[in-house]
A and B are shown apart, each in its own frame.
Chain A
Amino acid sequence: MLIQLGINLILALSLYFPLSAGQLSLGQGGFMAIGAYAASWLTASHAWPWPVAFAVAALVAGAVGALVGLPALRVRGIYLVLMTMAFGEIVRVFFLNFAPTGAAQGFRGMPFVTSLPLVAALGVATALLAARTAGSRMGRAFAAINRDELAAEVLGIDVTRAKLASFTVGAAVAGLAGALWAHYVQFIEPEEFGFARSVAPFTFVVVGGIDTFWGAVAGAALLTLLPEWLRFLKEWRLALYGLAMLAVMIVRPQGLIDHRLLRALRRWRPGHPREVAR
Chain B
Amino acid sequence: MKYRWLSVIVAATLVSGALAGTAPAAKLGGKSVKLGAIYSITGKGAEWGEHSKIATEIAVDEINKAGGIGGVPVEVLIQDTGTEVAPAISLARKLILEDKVLAILGPCFSSEFEALAPLLDRLKTIIVSQCSAKPGISALSTWAFRNTLTSDKQLAPAVEIWQKRYGIKSAAIIYDSADAVSAAEGSAVLPALLKKAGIEVKESLTYQTKDIDFSAQITKVKSLNPDGIALGSCYQQAANIVREARKQGLKQPFLAGACTGSPEFAKLVGKDGESSVIGSAGWPDDPRPKTVAFLKKFMEKSGGKKPNYGGMRAYDNVYIMKWVIETGGVTNDAKDLDADRDHVRVGWTRVKDFDGVTGLTTINAERDGGGKSTVLTVKDGQFVKIDY
Contacts and interface: CB of A to CB of B under 8 A. Distances in A.
Direct contact of A and B (CB under 8 A): yes
Interface of A: 1, 4, 96, 103-106, 108-109, 112, 185-187, 189, 191-192
Contact of A187 (B115, B177, B183): B115
A189 B85 CA distance: 9
Nearest 4 pairs of A and B residues by beta carbon: A187-B115, A104-B178, A104-B177, A185-B86
A103 B177 contact: yes
5 contacts: A103-B177, A108-B114, A108-B115, A185-B85, A192-B86
Contacts of B119: 112, 186
A104 B208 contact: yes
B4 interface: no
A185 B111 contact: no
A6 to B, nearest CB: 14
A105 B110 CA distance: 10
Contacts of B180: 105-106
Interface in B89-145: 89-90, 111, 114-115, 118-119, 122
B89 A185 contact: yes
A105 B208 CA distance: 11
Contacts of B208: 96, 104
A106 B177 contact: no
Contact of B115 (A103, A112, A186): A186
Contacts of A112: 119, 122
Nearest to A109: B118
A192 B87 CA distance: 12
Interface in B67-85: 84-85
B258 to A, nearest CB: 16
A187 B180 CA distance: 13
A166 to B, nearest CB: 29
Interface of B: 84-86, 89-90, 111, 114-115, 118-119, 122, 177-178, 180, 183, 208
A185 B84 CA distance: 12
Contacts of A185: 85-86, 89-90, 115
Which among B84, B85, B90, B118 has the highest number of chain A CB atoms within 10 Å?
Answer: B85
Given A186-B118, A186-B119, A189-B111, A104 B89 contact: no
Contacts of A109: 118
A19 B86 CA distance: 28
B188 to A, nearest CB: 11
Given A112-B122, A192-B86, 4 more contacts: A104-B177, A104-B183, A105-B111, A186-B115
Nearest to B116: A187
Contact of A105 (B90, B118, B183): B183
B181 to A, nearest CB: 10
B334 to A, nearest CB: 24
Given A105-B183, A108-B118, A112-B119, A191 B178 contact: yes
A112 B85 CA distance: 16
Nearest to B178: A104
A1 B91 CA distance: 10
Contacts of A96: 178, 208
A106 B86 contact: no
A109 B115 CA distance: 9
B234 to A, nearest CB: 14
A192 B177 CA distance: 15
A164 B90 CA distance: 37
A105 B84 CA distance: 13
Nearest to A188: B85
B10 to A, nearest CB: 50
Nearest to A107: B115
B114 A187 contact: yes
A186 B114 CA distance: 11
A103 B187 CA distance: 13
A191 B90 CA distance: 18
Given A1-B90, A187-B89, A106 B111 contact: yes
Contacts of B89: 185-187
Contacts of A189: 85, 111
Most buried by B among A96, A186, A192: A186
A74 B251 CA distance: 53
A192 B178 CA distance: 12
Nearest to B119: A186
Nearest to A110: B118
A272 B122 CA distance: 51
B171 to A, nearest CB: 22
Nearest to A189: B85
Contacts of B177: 103-104
Contacts of B90: 1, 4, 185
B184 to A, nearest CB: 8
B35 to A, nearest CB: 20
A156 B115 CA distance: 53
A4 B114 CA distance: 21
Contacts of A104: 177-178, 183, 208
Nearest to A3: B90
B85 A187 contact: yes
B106 to A, nearest CB: 16
Contacts of A103: 177
Nearest to B210: A191
Nearest to B206: A104
Contacts of B85: 106, 185, 187, 189, 192
A96 B178 CA distance: 8
